[in-house]
Each structure stands twice: as C-alpha cells, then as structure tokens.
Amino acid sequence: MVLARQQRGGTGRCACRTAVSRGPGLALGLWLGTGLDALAGDPRRAHPVAMFGRAASVAESRLWADSRLRGAAFAVACVAPVTGLGWALDRLSRRSAGVHAAVTAVAAWAVLGGTSLCGEALELARSLRAGDLAAARRRLPALCGRDCDQLDATELARAVVESVAENTCDAVVAPLLWGAVCGLPGLLGYRAVNTLDAMVGHRTPRYARFGWACARTDDVVNYLPARLTGVVAAVLAPAVGGNPGRALRILYSHGGAHPSPNSGRCEAAFAGALGVRLGGVNFYQGRAEPYGPLGDGPPPAARDIDRTVRLSRLTSAAVSLLAAGVAYRVHGRRRL
C-alpha cells in the first residue's frame, strides 16, 4: 500500500512538472518580441539575419548553376539548418514557460523588422519635404531594389508607400503568424525563406531559374499573411482618414493587378485606406516591370508616407495581438 501510494505520488509529481502548456509561453514571447522590436529596432551588431545572408551568399557562390534543381538544393541547404535550429531551441526551452517566452521573444526580435522599415521611410520623407531628392534617392535602396537614379519626388513617395505596404507583411505579419502556428521553427524558417527570396528571387538572367524555388516558396508562405495584412489595414483605414469599405473594395478589385500574387494585396489595401493611387512602371536593373493601377486617388506625396507608417504600425500591433491569441489557442493544449 505504501509503495503503491509512493509510486502514484511520484508519477503525479512528474506529470505536474511536464504538463506545462506550450501556448502561454509562445504567445507571451511573440508579444514581447514585437515590443522589443518597437522599442529597440534591429540588433545593431551581429544581426542574425545579416549573418544568415552572408552564409547564404557563400552557399550561392558554391551551388549556383542555371538550373531550377540546383536552386532548389540551395534553398533546402539554407532553410533546413535554420528551421532545425528553431526546432532545437523550441525543444530545449520547453520545460519552462518563462524560458520558452524569453527565447521566443529574442528570436522574434531578431526576425522582425517593422521598426527599421518605418524609420527608413520617415527619414526618406524628411528628405523629400526638404527638397533633397539626392538624399532621398540614396536612402531608397534600404527599402526596395528598384532603380532610383531618375525618380522624381512623386515616384520616390510611391516607392516608399509601396515598400512599406509590402514589407509590413514580410517584416512583421508573416513571421508572427508562422511563429504563432509553428512556433520557433516557423518563426526562423519563414525569415530564412523571405531573405533568400530577397537575395535570389529576381527575374534576371542569373536568377530566373536558380532563384525559382526560393521565389515560389516565398509566394506560398506569404499567401495568407498578405491577405490578412490587406484586410487588417483596410479595417484600420479610419486611423489614417480613410474608409474601410473603400479600402476593402480596392483590395479585392485591384489587388490582382500586380506581378506578385501577394504584394498587390498589401499595396492595394494601403492605397484604398490612404486614398491614393499606387502602381505604374518600376525599373529593376534597367528592366521595366509595369503593373497597376492600385487605388483610384491621386499619386502619393511626402505627407502620405507619414500616414503609411502610422497604418503599418497599427496593422503590426493588431496582428501581434492576433498572433498571440492564435499561439495560445493552437498550442494551449500541447504540453511542453
């Protein structure tokens, strides 16, 4: 009898130690990581994403060939270790909800880029208001890769608004959602995929075939986040003087007028919320890429960049709360 009670007691204590819900730690970590990004911005030294980019560049130099198969091998070789690292960190931090929250918060801070995105946009807007087009052109490559030497003030403002709209998804919404659903592997794995797309996912002679797998994977992982970004931005339109109904109409009627299956959804929603018209002809390394129009208002000006940043920040804050709720719901019954 005594031995039986001791065994039952020991089993009960073991169960209590391991039966810790995974959801609260993950939810809190995602929310804290968003707050860290808002307060501190990107890490100033040894940025993990920059370190990954340098490693991926080395891998590209060794694996490159004008082949989709080699490009797919490159994608797997780069993404798999990062996703595996996320899995390992997830496993190692599972025994304590507090440790799990702390590790998730640091990982989220490392992969999110909303504060840096908005900061660059506001600095460029200041240059435009000062009439310093040369300074504005110098800043634009930090936001997008289009040719900027001949862009006037209107085209520079359009480029900024479009970039902030698109990257609100890439830099904030998508990583938070993948983190909420898949935990640390999703958080880190998404950032690896998106970084590779920015590096090699271009329609250029060098990357048209080699970068195909990276570009298509990025399209897939951003499909739902881009549409969520559009809907949330449209709902928040009154915060920037817009109308939600109009923004949703522009989202659904104009969102497909873009070469990307995802970017147009974000840009159309922002255009509708801001009451401006985006789209046109962009040049990348001398190659013209026409699309649009997105929206039915006037072209954006420098003052609209401030409104765009406000809408981006509000969208990011709303999605951070949503992601925390999803993480709690999805992982609340899973035990660490």
Domain ranges, ordered by start, for the chain: 21-331
Alpha carbons 40 and 217: distance in angstroms, whole number: 30
Q: What is the pLDDT of residue 8?
A: 40
pLDDT value at position 203? 83
How would you write the pLDDT of the chain (336 residues) with one tens digit per residue?
333 433 444 444 444 444 456 788 899 999 999 999 998 888 777 788 989 999 999 999 999 999 999 999 999 999 999 999 999 999 998 888 889 999 999 999 999 999 999 999 999 999 999 999 999 999 999 898 888 888 999 999 999 999 999 999 999 999 999 999 999 999 999 999 999 999 998 888 899 999 999 999 999 999 999 999 999 999 999 999 999 999 999 999 998 888 888 999 999 999 999 999 998 888 887 787 888 789 989 999 999 999 999 999 999 999 999 999 999 988 875 555
Task: Provide long-range contacts, Cβ within 8 A and 24+ apart, for 73-79.
Answer: 74/196, 74/200, 74/210, 74/213, 74/214, 75/193, 75/196, 75/213, 75/214, 75/217, 78/52, 78/192, 78/196, 79/189, 79/192, 79/193, 79/196, 79/217
pLDDT given for residue 14 in this prediction = 42
Pairing mode, if any, of strands 278-284 and 287-294?
Answer: antiparallel
First to last CA, the chain: 32
DSSP for 100-142? HHHHHHHHHHHH--HHHHHHHHHHHHHHHHTT-HHHHHHHGGG
Integer Cα distance of 135 and 219 in angstroms: 33
CA atoms within 13 A on the CB side of 113: 23
- Predicted local distance difference test score (pLDDT) of residue 2: 39
pLDDT at 277: 95
Could you check whether the bond before residue 43 is cis, i.e. omega within 30 degrees of 0? no
Helices and strands (H and E) in the chain: how many: 15, 2
d(CA 160, CA 124): 8
Longest dimension (CA), the chain: 87
What is the residue whose two structure tokens read 């060794």? 62
Our measurement of the distance from residue 183's CA atom to the centroid of its chain's CA atoms, rounded to an integer in Å, reads 15
Cα separation of 106 and 112, whole Å?
10
3-state DSSP helix/strand/coil percent for the chain, to nearest 5?
A: 75, 5, 20
Could you give the CA distance from residue 208 to residue 95 in angstroms, rounded to a whole number? Answer: 45
Give, to the nearest 10 degrees, the angle between helix 114-129 and helix 302-331. 170
What is the C-alpha separation between 208 and 148, in angstroms, rounded? 22
pLDDT of residue 333: 59
Q: Which residue has the tokens 């660059």?
A: 120
Q: How far apart are CA 284 and CA 228, in angstroms?
A: 28
Output the CA angle 303-116-146, nearest 5 degrees.
70
